[in-house]
């Protein structure tokens, strides 16, 4: 981990009732998968959420009405950031594996897709963020490669119990245009670098760096309230709005 604290925006991805059997104990609560992101301005392009199938997650009470599903490590950090019903003490009301969460229908802020689904990603780190990641395949090379794998491999979908309708209707949504990379920058960079799989970690690290830098410095929004504005200008505005409207919170680690 870095020496500098990293500040993430936690996006509240609301689990749409009725809850499946495994989540019945949470009925009556507002339940969110809380995804850590550094790119709040990309939330328009969400196509799904990622969870680690073998990961351990808990449902933690943020206050009397709201519950966040995330790793216990991040729940402890949140409890020290005034985001626990009991200050400095996470209260876990249910435990889940990532597998239990796959297929949950979610409503996520700004998403142009009204409902998106939780899907498996094998490269999620449990010692970073919340262990929940929102997927924006237009602008994240990791998300693009992981989604491509599920789209193209029916055996992979079958292995994790992923229904076709949770994946196949969700095309990449162009949301940001970058002069050098077009409006599906993640796809372009992955093709240019000839990245073959989501496990090609070295190339993906390079791809991530390229796309991330260019997106921020040269990107222009092509959707949403700040359509036509530079990403650099839109990002803090979109971030503030998400926070003010209660769709997101700040989280540091
Ligand atoms: B980003 P950094 Cl569009 N394991 O959000 C793996 N990846 C994780 C994670 C975890 N536990 N927690 C968060 N992340 C992802 C959007 C996005 C992101 C875009 C483009 C680039 C990008 C949509 N996914 O990240 O190691 C989250 O994905 C590239 C840096 O703390 C989060 O932001 O720098 C980012 O990695 C945090 O990574």
Q: What is the pLDDT of residue 153?
A: 97
Q: Is there a contact between 122 and 53 (Cβ–Cβ < 8 Å)?
A: yes
Q: Which of 38, 141, 224, 238 to mutate to test the pocket of ligand 1 (most atoms within 8 A of CB)?
A: 38
Q: Kind and range of the H or E element at 61?
A: strand 56-61
Q: Is there a contact between 107 and 13 (Cβ–Cβ < 8 Å)?
A: yes
Mean pLDDT across 145-149: 97
Distance from Cα 77 to the centre of ligand 1, integer Å: 18
Distance from Cα 44 to the centre of ligand 1, integer Å: 16
Mean pLDDT across 22-33: 96
**What single-letter DSSP state applies at residue 230?**
B
Ligand 1, pocket residues at CB < 6 Å: 6, 36-39, 42, 124-125, 128-129, 131, 133-136, 139-140, 143, 208, 212
- What structural domains and CATH numbers belong to the chain? 7-252 (3.90.740.10)
Inform me whether the pLDDT recorded for 2 exceeds 70: no
Distance CA 16, CA 114 (A): 11
Q: Which range has the worst mean pLDDT, 18-32, 139-153, 196-210?
A: 196-210
Answer yes or no: is the ipTM higher than 0.95.
yes
Distance CA 42, CA 37 (A): 9
Burial of 176 (0-12, 13-18, 19+ CB in 10 A): buried
In ligand 1, which atom is closest to the CA atom of 42? Answer: 3
Local structure of 202: helix, strand or coil = helix
Mean pLDDT across 244-253: 97
* Buried b / exposed e along 56-85 (16+ C-beta atoms within 10 A): ebbbbbbeeebbbbbbbbbbebbbeeebbb
Q: What is the pLDDT of residue 1?
A: 53
Model pLDDT for residues 34-91, shown as the tens digit of each residue: 999 999 999 999 999 999 999 999 999 999 999 999 999 999 999 999 999 999 999 9
Inform me whether the pLDDT recorded for 238 exceeds 70: yes
Considering only CA atoms, which of 94, 122, 91 is closest in space to residue 15?
A: 94
Q: What is the DSSP string of 75-128?
A: HHHHHTTT-SSBTTB--EEEEEEHHHHTT-EEE-TT-SSSSEEEEE-TT--TTS
Q: Kind and range of the H or E element at 244?
A: helix 231-244
Inform me whether the pLDDT recorded for 213 exceeds 90: no
Q: What is the pLDDT of residue 184?
A: 97
Residue of minimum CA distance from atom 32 in ligand 1: 37
Model pLDDT for residues 120-142, shown as the tens digit of each residue: 999 999 999 999 999 999 999 99
Residues of the chain above pLDDT 90, percent: 92
Q: What is the pLDDT of residue 97?
A: 98
What average pLDDT is seen over the chain?
96
């Amino acid at each position: 981990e870095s020496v500098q604290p990293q500040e993430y925006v936690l996006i509240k991805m609301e689990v749409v009732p009725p809850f499946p059997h495994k989540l019945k104990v949470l009925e009556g609560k507002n339940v969110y998968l809380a995804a850590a992101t550094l790119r709040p301005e990309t939330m328009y392009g969400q196509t799904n959420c990622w969870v680690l199938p073998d990961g351990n997650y808990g449902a933690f009470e943020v206050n009397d009405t709201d519950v966040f599903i995330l790793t216990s490590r991040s729940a402890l950090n949140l409890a020290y950031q005034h985001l626990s019903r009991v200050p400095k003490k996470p209260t876990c009301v249910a435990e889940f594996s990532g597998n239990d969460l796959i297929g949950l229908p979610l409503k996520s802020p700004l998403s142009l897709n009204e409902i998106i689904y939780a899907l498996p990603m094998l490269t999620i780190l449990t010692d970073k963020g919340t262990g929940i990641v929102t997927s924006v395949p237009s602008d994240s090379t990791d998300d693009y490669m992981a989604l491509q794998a599920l789209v193209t491999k029916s055996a992979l979908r079958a292995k994790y119990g992923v229904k076709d309708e949770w994946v196949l209707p969700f095309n990449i949504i162009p949301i940001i245009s970058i002069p050098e990379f077009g409006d599906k920058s993640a796809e372009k960079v992955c093709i240019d670098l000839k990245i073959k799989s989501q496990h090609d970690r070295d190339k993906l690290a390079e791809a991530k760096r390229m796309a991330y830098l260019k997106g921020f410095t040269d990107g222009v929004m092509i959707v949403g309230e700040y359509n036509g504005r530079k990403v650099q200008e839109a990002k803090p505005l979109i971030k503030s709005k998400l926070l003010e409207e209660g769709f997101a919170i700040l989280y540091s680690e």
